[in-house]
Chain A
């Protein structure tokens, strides 16, 4: 193996190790769990902010409710369901995969795959080259081009 290839392999391994380290399973603290749940709930008096992000009184009160529910041992789904029961599906900031609307999660993947398939066909496809024009027609075309480009006008200097 050449030196540069060895270096490339080592570099890639280092990146992979760093990624693996960052992806190590870590126990979620209660605070982190509250943060995660509140980041998925919509602040009802704000323009699209999550309960976690919003500094409004309503959001802070809702966060307290989540804290209490987490301390009581409720699951994430139970907490979300309670919010949805009181405020409707609108209060959850992204549809769950299980619902009909879960299809929105698939779209980006589909779009990329479709685009790549399209692009792949394009790199393979070669279109028919245009036939060459005969010389007489060529001259006529050139003249026409020159005429059209100048518009054949007595354009004034204004």
Chain B
């Protein structure tokens, strides 16, 4: 029998380590959700934008909400989860209507007519405008819709929610930001 050389011992060890590492990686991979991509804009100042209002009554600028806690919701008429989350948005909007929390809706990859129809059909009463060329979505790092961004009174994006949002999340986020603003 040919003797096992020293190289083969190193080889054995190397193989064992490599396979062990592979397995560890694959097991760890279960912990992550491949659909959860962190955007780069959270924690940075919210990009200023100006869009045309859906009802044609002029321009809508983020600047108007300066110094106030702001919720920006990206939506479209063809987006079924947007329709599902809408009642939660409406209820939350009503709840904070008398305060100085600002709600803004941005129409994403949709025609203004369809957007306007959607807004009317679903009782969206906060200001909404159309991001015609996608620059606003780009500036915020939008991956798809619905997405909701929370901007503090200091103008920094404090958080982002991907997918349909519920009332609890909305209220918690807004209350946290309002508390921070008071300090």
Contact = CB atoms under 8 A, between A and B. Distances in A.
Q: Do chains A and B touch in the complex (CB under 8 A)?
A: yes
A90 B138 contact: no
A77 to B, nearest CB: 16
Nearest to B41: A86
Give chain A's interface residue range (CB within 8 Å of chain B): 10 to 19
B134 A61 contact: yes
Interface in A29-77: 44-45, 57-58, 61-62, 64-65
Interface in B32-77: 37-41, 44
A45 B144 contact: yes
B15 interface: no
A116 to B, nearest CB: 16
Contacts of A90: 37-38
Mostly, the A contact residues are: helix
Contacts of B138: 61-62, 65, 86
Contact of B143 (A44, A65, A128, A130): A44
B134 A62 contact: yes
Contact of A85 (B3, B41, B135, B142): B41
B128 interface: no
Nearest to A88: B40
Nearest to A45: B144
A45 B143 CA distance: 6
Nearest to B131: A61
Interface in B128-156: 133-135, 137-144
Given A58-B109, A61-B134, A86 B139 contact: yes
B2 interface: yes
Contact of B2 (A45, A65, A128): A128
B1 interface: yes
Nearest to A86: B141
Given A61-B109, A61-B135, A85-B44, 16 more contacts: A44-B143, A58-B109, A58-B137, A61-B133, A62-B134, A65-B134, A65-B135, A85-B40, A86-B40, A86-B41, A87-B141, A88-B37, A88-B38, A88-B141, A90-B37, A128-B3
5 contacts: A44-B142, A44-B143, A88-B37, A130-B1, A130-B2
Complex A-B, nearest 10 residue pairs according to Cβ-Cβ distance, in ascending order: A61-B134, A86-B141, A88-B40, A127-B2, A57-B109, A87-B141, A44-B143, A128-B2, A85-B40, A86-B40
